[in-house]
Chains A and B, each alone.
Chain A
Amino acid sequence: MSVLLNEVRKGFYLDSVALMRLSAELSALSGIEEAVLMIGTPSNLQIMRDADILDSAGEEAGPNDLVIAIRADRKASTNRALAHAEKAMKGNSAAGKATEHRARTLRGSHASNPDANLTLISTPGEYAGIEANSALDLGLNVMIFSDNVPLERELELKQRARDLDLLVMGPDCGTAYINGVPLAFANAVNKGSTGVIAASGTGLQEFSVLLHRAGGGIKHGIGVGGRDLSDSIGGISTLSAIDLLANDDEVEQIVLISKPPGEATAKAIFDKLAACGKPVIACVFGLSASQIPDGISCTQTLREAAELTHRQSANAADPTETNTTPDLHNLASELTIPTGAQSLVGLYTGGTLCTEALLILGRAGLSCSSNTSKEGLDSTAQYQLIDLGADEYTVGRPHPMIEPAVRTPLLQQAVNDKNVAVILLDLVLGFGAHEDPAAEVVSALTAAEANKPLVVASVCGTDKDPQDYQRQRAALEAAGVIVCNSNSEAAELCALILEPR
């Protein structure tokens, strides 16, 4: 027999995000069957009445009141949930009571931190250019986290920065390391002697993580933005970054991670890299070794790039983690896919990881449809890879790295689809990412029917990340997920599982 409790907070408002977050938190508590927080409009009260979660206390609510309705297995559970709600609401109303100084403007912030030489800009794209220009006026290097910055504005900013001998990272630069310090969405990795230039995002994260696990570390990871290597921008930031890394005595070797550059830009970039005086490794998705000049080492995957970087390092340390590389052929031969199932569904939170998997599977003869490709996603294709972090999936809702529940409906659909043989996933850990992304995957899988597809995953994270790589990995493995040491290994395993036997 379940117990119902209504609590009415008179004249109490919470914003929509706080209301829904709290509803979700209460619903996840043990013993809770249903938990709802809604304003007490007649329309909402009618819905609650129809749902049989409105008691006499709730009936008294008016349109300016907040109704907390909880149904649970016993009274103790309702009381515990109510206490949780009240604590959260108190915290919300008292949020930010501390009176630490917060500058109102970039200029004010610079005045209180005159030694700073870098500013991170995260505003709506239409304003980012204005702020970036102000930062350049102040002699600051710029990291633009914002996306949707117009191309012409990006070009103008980068040209101006070049003239001022400053660097613009981004736009849409989600990850960077400067002097070993992670910025924005980055993993906790060892500081080392490697300088990386990447569009920025999960490509840089995966490389940093794999290098860290191998025993290496990052000195600088410069995110130049996804359009920098196009001929429209001409690689302005990449060229500046090469100069910076070449002139830093602590940088031993330089790694370039990118999609194929524009034709004219590629020549300028590769010429400069070849002449920089340091060993260079290029992992340019879609380009083969023959398309890269002599003197630059070419790798096809981020894992190969990390391994080669570590091997070439003069100060190579022992690996920080000891997950042995499995024999993928043996592993694949031991796995059984559901009878009659032939499809592959990849549900990615990291765009570069999705692209890497697409290329690996393509090389193995599995032609995948993906929203990361020029052709776009064909939802009827046998092999599909979806980047859930792409704009079309993130407008008006959180990025799946921040809120992994965004992936859950698609994951549940794939798990229960009799045609799906293998599901390929990534989990991205690190600063800014969700505190426990494995829990959401595990929850979706444990609710699945028997004879479910094989689930292959990789976890982009380290032992130093707030989420703890080994704990995340163990949680997935306990739920039957085959966890590979890298995204490329996971994609290769999927290719071996699906190849004709």
Chain B
Amino acid sequence: MGHKAQVIIAGKIALDLLCTPSTGIVHAVFQRTFYLRKTGTLTPAPPITTGNNARQSFTGQPSARAVSQPALLCCIGQAELERGPLNVRTTLNDITHVTVGDEWSCDQQLVSIGNIELDLSRAKIWLPTPLQQSAVPDPQSVALLARFLEINTPQPQVQHRINEMINEQLINAVKQLQQWLDHYQNQGGQPAIHFPDHLLGCGDGLTPAGDDIVVGVLLAMRAWKMPALDLLVAEVTDRLDTTSDISAAHLLAACSGSGIAPLHQLIDCVGTRDGNQLEYKFNNSRHSRKHEQIQSAATALCSYGHSSGYHAMQGVLLAARHQQLWPL
């Protein structure tokens, strides 16, 4: 007997993938989600424009290696699945009969995966909330975010030297990324320092911590219109084959300006809405409310994945600190 379910809400990249007549296979199955892979290859999606917010355009050109990048993926899940560009929240109550390698196809807004049928006809599309044009990180919010990260450092289940080595490599790679960004500013757009090769793909989770950090940096830099974004996008798209297909798909989405909803919410909170620093400085009640919002957004993001949310937040902090050093 087949299982019929509705798609409730889906990210734009996922919906674009499913809405066009397409075929593919089930790429990976987890306890409450599974990934569909579309047959073929992809190039980076164009930047996502939301509502009246005309985002800075993506001018980084995909390199030749991008042509052989992993096929586009989307993640099918149940009602609790977080909103995100690749995520498809459905009314499915049981995914246990889905197996890696199962074929899927989509025709006339109906996705067939084995004996599952997903109806797209009433699906809502999810896009990140539009940001105001003049958003920049607020220094006190950045300090609060740094404190939150310090207090909430994830603890590994086992203390072994591999964890220490991963941390060491991440710290070094992040430092190199900071230097790379700083040199971009000093050298007028041409970093003298090599982009850290060991950042992407570094970490012991499904999406490596290094990738999660870069996702946070990419989204924050786009939100705050930081000039090094184009070059960072080019460097990342050039290295997508150094991480898993699933993580690469999330990185690509971030390159085009889209990540999971709590990450956008955090970036939104950290950026001042009107750019009027004096008002924030002297209006304590408003400040306090805003800090509560940051605490709440950071807490929500931290609960995402094992430590993906935490690491993405580290990326946001890195971008925020860079923006403060090199304001527009």
Contacts and interface: CB of A to CB of B under 8 A. Distances in A.
Contacts of A98: 96
Contact of B162 (A53, A93, A392, A403): A53
B166 interface: yes
B110 interface: no
Nearest to B156: A20
Interface stretch (B60-68, B181-189, B307-315): B307-315
B179 to A, nearest CB: 18
B31 A44 contact: no
A41 B201 contact: yes
Interface stretch (B38-46, B119-127, B268-276, B298-306): B298-306
B16 interface: no
B165 interface: yes
A396 B242 contact: no
Interface string B226-247: 0000000000000001111110
A46 B202 CA distance: 9
A271 to B, nearest CB: 35
B96 A99 contact: yes
Interface stretch (B133-141, B205-213, B283-291, B316-324): B205-213
Interface stretch (A32-40, A112-120, A290-298): A32-40
Interface stretch (A9-17, A79-87, A255-263): A9-17
Interface on chain B toward A: helix, strand, loop, or mixed SS?
Answer: loop
B244 A41 contact: yes
B245 to A, nearest CB: 6
Contacts of B97: 99
A64 B206 contact: no
Contacts of B302: 395-396
A24 B246 CA distance: 24
Interface centre among A36, A96, A397 (most CB of B within 10 A): A397
* Size category, B interface: 35 or more
B201 A63 contact: yes
A38 B166 CA distance: 11
Interface residues of A, number: 53
B91 interface: yes
Contacts of B246: 13
Contacts of B206: 13-16, 19, 39
Interface string A395-412: 111000001011001000
B94 interface: yes
A356 to B, nearest CB: 25
Contact of A397 (B30, B154, B308): B154
A263 to B, nearest CB: 25
Contacts of A406: 155
Contact of A395 (B243, B244, B299, B305): B299
A43 B210 contact: yes
B93 A104 contact: yes
B158 A27 contact: yes
A247 interface: no
B160 A34 contact: yes
A48 interface: yes
Nearest to B31: A95
A20 B159 CA distance: 11
Contacts of B31: 15, 18, 92, 95-96
A103 interface: yes
A13 B28 contact: yes
Interface centre among B31, B157, B166 (most CB of A within 10 A): B157
Nearest to B34: A13
A126 B187 CA distance: 46
Interface in B245-295: 245-246
A403 to B, nearest CB: 8
A331 interface: no
B243 A63 contact: yes
B175 interface: no
Nearest to B100: A11
Given A36-B162, A102-B94, A396-B310, A123 B244 contact: no
Contacts of A37: 204
Nearest to B310: A396
Contact of B305 (A16, A28, A47, A391): A16
8 closest A-B pairs by CB: A41-B201, A16-B205, A16-B306, A396-B302, A24-B157, A43-B201, A43-B202, A13-B28
26 contacts: A11-B100, A13-B244, A15-B206, A16-B205, A23-B157, A27-B158, A27-B160, A38-B162, A41-B201, A41-B208, A41-B242, A41-B244, A42-B197, A42-B198, A47-B162, A47-B165, A53-B162, A98-B96, A102-B93, A102-B94, A124-B303, A392-B151, A392-B152, A396-B307, A396-B310, A405-B155
Interface of B: 28-31, 79-80, 91, 93-94, 96-97, 100, 151-152, 154-162, 165-166, 169, 197-208, 210, 241-246, 296, 299-300, 302-303, 305-310
Given A34-B162, A63-B201, 10 more contacts: A19-B206, A28-B158, A36-B204, A37-B204, A42-B197, A43-B210, A47-B162, A51-B165, A95-B31, A99-B96
